[in-house]
Amino acid sequence: MKGIVFTEFLEMVESKFGLETLDNIIENGHLPSEGVYTSVGTYDFNEMVTLITNLSEETKIPVGDLIYAFGLYLFSGLANSHPEVIKNYNTPLGLLYCIEDHIHVHVKKLYPDAELPTFKILDKTDNKISMVYSSSRGLYRLAHGLIEKAFEHFGSTATITYDLLKEDGTEVKFDIVQNG
């Protein structure tokens, strides 16, 4: 997993839960990287799992809810670090439609060792899109947060529902309807 995901995660923990919680989740983690990450580095996904599990224990907030909150936070971090990746989009549905074929393709050029999910578009109209998230990492709650924030980014909102096609969350169908 790319370092930018870790640096954004630690930033979120500090701003939402404070420095003491941040120190605790790193110190209790026995992490190979000892909580030190650079945005261009690549680290074991298990380190992220450990950090989130520790944060859940510290805060008593379920892991899935923390991952969703992180998705909301991460969108702005990615957009601010790489404005060129999203500058050509002027609607949230247009952006979602292009994650697979443009946005993450661009990301792969920036970070050749990025491990990205796939999004298969099932259906798209002027106000809705259905797509299937697939990834061995099962971070569909992260995708949910990112999608929701994409609408906010364009001053809009959406009703987002999802169905787990596989119980472990490695394949999830999203139905997204823009409000208004």
Place of tokens 């990287």: 33
How far does CA 40 lie from the centroid of its chain? Answer: 17
Task: Give residue number: closest CB to ligand HEM.
Answer: 135
Whole-Å CA distances, 166 to 34, 77, 104, 132, 162: 33, 29, 23, 11, 12
Residues 105-164 that bind ligand HEM (CB under 6 A): 107, 111, 114-117, 135, 137, 139, 142-143, 146-147, 150
- Using CB under 6 A, which of the segments 27-35, 58-66, 98-106, 162-170 binds ligand HEM? 98-106
Give yes or no for residue 12 binding ligand HEM (CB under 6 A).
no
Among 16, 82, 124, 128, binds ligand HEM (CB under 6 A): 82
Which spans of this chain sit near ligand HEM (rule: CB under 6 A)? 1-2, 4-5, 78-79, 82, 85-86, 96, 99, 103-104, 107, 111, 114-117, 135, 137, 139, 142-143, 146-147, 150
